[in-house]
Structure formats: structure tokens, C-alpha cells
Amino acid sequence: MAELRYCLAWKRPDGSFQPGETFASFAEAATALSAWQPQSHSGALSTQEPCCTDQVEIWCSCQDEPATVLSRPRYSFVVYGTVAGGGGDGSEAAPWWGLQEAITGLVELERSGQLALRHGQRLRLCHREVFATSAGQKRKARAENIAKTVFMAMALMLVAPVLAILVYLLVKGWPALSLSFFLENPRERMTAGGIWAPLVGTFFLVFISLLLAAPVGILAGVYLNEYARDNWLTRIINLAVVNLAGVPSIVHALFGVGVIMFFAELRRNYGIWVPFEDRCLLAASCTLAVMTLPVIITSTREALASVPMSFREACWNMGATRWQTIRTIVLPNSISGILTGVILQVSRAAGETAPILLTGAVFSVPVPDHGWRAFVPYGLHDRCMALSMHLYTISTQVVNVPEHVEYGTAVVLIGLVLAVNSASIALRVYLRSRKKW
């Protein structure tokens, strides 16, 4: 069997390796590495001194054959060449500390049989600065950038259709958007005029439904999170709240119709007082309140649960009662989440059509253009117009409506929802910035 020889090869500035001195044993070749002057990756490689480089290799070949090696090194190690000390195993994660430590480590690995070069194989030793980025870290950063790019592309794919729809509606409805469009009532069987009457009706519906649902939802959330025990009844209530939040709006509308008709029959047949006797503004608002109640309860519970228990315990240790703790500690620190959930329900209530279609909204109601009745045109027992219902009517039930009026109404409805959501986000950011924890 031909005797092996070991050749030191120094990296050139062009990336190739220049063969140097040849040794009869691996230990001699490793010891000769003491002449290596490690150069930083970012520094300029010397063209005069072959041993002034950032990488060096040990080639193995038979004595009677040329020093031909494989394209990839069999072993690869890393060293902090400009420091002194001990430690590390030569890997990317734990390089050798100092050149002498690297030489000693290579010799010990070869003697223990963990490192054995054969003909055509080579060993590479790379220098790295102490705080320089390793190849493994570069691979992780590259994978992180790829993942970030993919997720960003997915997000843009979701946002792009929404922006396209908004731009399309805005371009189509731009001729109708003016101050008179907001302040005038529909005229000529809804083929002309503006949207003042349905806009006011929408504000009335949302305000009354929020006035009914917010106190009940917040207090229910406080009870379920702070007072209720973890028993079968509480779990059934929580399950009912979650399921009620997923019920379609048309089911809520049918529930509202059934309740209204039931109360109306009680009032007609038995003379029992009930808040309403037919489809009206109050009935539609109550239906919207029932629809938004589960989400308000859920958001209130999540906001209260986000307050650390240590806050409550510290207050109890000071002698405060449970209600004092809730009123002075828990609610002020969870108000941002509670208000966010409440305000988001405003936008949902403003865009719903089915619940109000069957309980109180009508196609058209005459509203004065001037005076007090122009701003308060509806009573609690009156039927009203709503923006979502008005858009449905002029799009499907009325003929000869200008196209820009339909798109303008849609733009106003979407703009109202976006404005409410934006206000909710701004309020949440403001309140969270004032937190002390």
C-alpha cells in the first residue's frame, strides 16, 4: 500500500488553493500550521505571503501520485485565530480559541482515530473573528428572511383584493360623493337625492343597540370572570356564549321577529305592558343588541383575564373587597380591551341588514329636510331607514337608480365601518401606551 503524504494548501485571493510544503505525517502538517497568519474574512488577503489568508487546508494523497483532492473537504473546523485561550471543539458553534489550541485539537483527533484522511481527501481550517457571524447563523438568517418574505407575500395576497375592491368602489362612486349627498334625503323614489335619512337611522340603531348591549355584556363578563365558580353551570353559560357568537345574523333576525310578535300578541290580547307592539326602531335595536352581546361578553372576559392575578392579590392583602379590587384595579387595567371589543361591535351592527330587515327597517320613511325633525326623525316606536337596508333597496328593488349613487352609498357604508375600526385601534394603542405594566 502506498504511503500517504500531507500537503498544506493556502487559500489565494481568487478563492483557489495553492499547494505548499509536503509532510510525511499528519502531526507534522498540523504542527506546521503555527506559521499561519489568520486573516479576517473582510480584510484584504495578501498576495505576497501565502500563509496570510483566512482558510488553510491539509491535503492527503499517495506519495507517488499527484496531490489531487475531492471538490469538497472531508472535515471542516473553525478557529478564533487572533485570540489566546482554551475551549471549543472546532465546530461552527464552538470554535477553537487560538491557533495553538486548534493544532493540539487536530493532533488529538487524529491520534484517537476520530479524524482519518485518506487519499484524495482534505481537511479545511477556517478563521473567524470572535463576534463574526457563523455560517450556521447565516443559514438561519437566510431561512428567516425567506420565511418573512413568504409570509409577507401571503399577507399582501390577502390585502390586495380588499384594496382593489375599495379602489373600484371609490372610483365608481366618486361622482356622487359630496356634502349634499350626505345632507339630502332620498328623492324621486330613491333615484335622486342623498342618504341623510338612512344615515341618521343607522346612527340611531347603532347607538340604542350599544346602549342596551354594552352594560349587560360588560357586567356579564365581569361576573363570569371574577365571581362565577368553575362548575357545570358556568361551563354551560360559557359554551352558550361562544355558540351564540357564531350564530348567523339571519337566525338572530328570526329570533327578533318571534320575540316581537310574541310581545305584540301579549299586549293586544292581555293588555300587558311591553316596550313595543310591532316592528320598530326599538325592536331592531334590541335584535342588534342580542346579536352583539356574545362578542362583548367574550372580549370583556379576555380583557379581564389579561390582568395579572398578582394585582388582585396585592389589593386583597391591603384589605380591599372583591368589588373594590375590580373597580379600582381590574377594570382600569382592562379598559382598553373592553372598549376595543365594544367599538368593534359598532361597525358590525352598522353593516348588518338581515336583523333590521325583519324587525324595524323599511324601504322609505319621509324625513323633513330642515328643523329639529331632520336630526331626530325617528321615535323608539317608529320604523326607520338604515344605510345597509337602503343600499340593498336601491341595488335590487328600485329601477333607474344612477350607478354612481349605488356605489357612493356603498363607499359611505364601508367608510363608516373603517372609521369605527380605525378609532378602535387608535383608542387601544393610546390606552395601552398608558399602562404601567
Check whether residue 245 and residue 151 sit in a common domain: no
Q: Is pLDDT above 50 for 60? A: yes
State the average pLDDT for the chain. 83
Range of the domain at 404: 177-433
Find the mean pLDDT for residues 172-176.
89
- pTM of the predicted model as reported, rounded to 2 decimal places: 0.67
The whole-number pLDDT of residue 398 equals 83
The answer to whether position 299 is within a domain reads: yes
The total number of residues written for the chain in this structure: 437
The whole-number pLDDT of residue 46 equals 44
The answer to whether position 325 is within a domain reads: yes
Distance CA 315, CA 331 (A): 13
Contact 337, 205 (CB under 8 A): no
Contact 405, 195 (CB under 8 A): no
Find the mean pLDDT for residues 115-122.
85
Check whether residue 151 and residue 207 sit in a common domain: no
Out of 33-47, 235-249, 271-285, 303-317, pick the least confident: 33-47
Q: Is pLDDT above 70 for 87? A: yes
**Exposure b/e, 159-190, CB count within 10 A at least 16 = b:** eeeeeeeeeebbebbeebeeeebeebbbeeeb
Task: Please tell me which residue, 371 or 273, carries the higher pLDDT value.
Answer: 371
Check whether residue 255 and residue 390 sit in a common domain: yes
Check whether residue 9 and residue 96 sit in a common domain: yes
pLDDT category of residue 134 using cuts at 50, 70 and 90: low
Q: Is pLDDT above 90 for 435? A: no
Out of 62-66, 276-280, 287-291, 361-365, pick the least confident: 62-66
Check whether residue 149 and residue 95 sit in a common domain: no
The whole-number pLDDT of residue 129 equals 80
- How many domains does the structure of the chain reveal? 3
Give the percent of the chain with pLDDT over 90: 11
What is the sign, positive or negative, of the torsion defined by CA atoms of 103, 104, 106, 107?
positive
Residue 36, CA distances (Å) to 26, 124, 126, 275, 404 in order: 16, 13, 11, 94, 79
The whole-number pLDDT of residue 149 equals 94
Check whether residue 268 and residue 348 sit in a common domain: yes
Check whether residue 93 and residue 128 sit in a common domain: yes
Q: Using N-to-C axis directions, what is the helix angle for 232-245 and 281-305, rounded to 10°?
A: 120
Q: Is pLDDT above 60 for 40? A: no
The answer to whether position 28 is within a domain reads: yes
The whole-number pLDDT of residue 377 equals 84
Check whether residue 83 and residue 161 sit in a common domain: no
Check whether residue 196 and residue 276 sit in a common domain: yes
Task: Please tell me which residue, 71 or 346, carries the higher pLDDT value.
Answer: 346
The enclosing domain of 409 has a CATH number of 1.10.3720.10
Find the mean pLDDT for residues 332-360.
84
Check whether residue 152 and residue 83 sit in a common domain: no
Q: Is pLDDT above 80 for 91? A: yes
The whole-number pLDDT of residue 167 equals 92
Per-residue model confidence as pLDDT tens digits over 138-169:
788 899 999 999 999 999 999 999 899 999 99
Find the mean pLDDT for residues 110-119.
86
pLDDT category of residue 345 using cuts at 50, 70 and 90: confident
Check whether residue 109 and residue 150 sit in a common domain: no
Per-residue model confidence as pLDDT tens digits over 12-30:
877 788 788 888 888 888 8
pLDDT category of residue 270 using cuts at 50, 70 and 90: low
The answer to whether position 172 is within a domain reads: no
Per-residue model confidence as pLDDT tens digits over 372-400:
777 888 888 888 888 888 888 888 888 88
Q: Is pLDDT above 60 for 180? A: yes
The whole-number pLDDT of residue 372 equals 78
Residue reference for cell 325592536? 283
The whole-number pLDDT of residue 14 equals 78
The whole-number pLDDT of residue 156 equals 92
The answer to whether position 271 is within a domain reads: yes
The answer to whether position 206 is within a domain reads: yes
Find the mean pLDDT for residues 291-320.
89
Out of 31-40, 151-160, 184-193, 399-408, pick the least confident: 31-40
The answer to whether position 63 is within a domain reads: yes
Closest Cα partner for 355 from 197, 206, 198, 211?
206
Closest Cα partner for 130 from 168, 88, 164?
88
Per-residue model confidence as pLDDT tens digits over 399-420:
888 888 889 999 999 988 888 8
Which value, in Å, is the radius of gyration of the alpha carbons in the chain? 38
The whole-number pLDDT of residue 268 equals 66
Check whether residue 118 and residue 152 sit in a common domain: no
| Among 262-266, 287-291, 430-434, the range of highest mean pLDDT | 287-291
The answer to whether position 316 is within a domain reads: yes
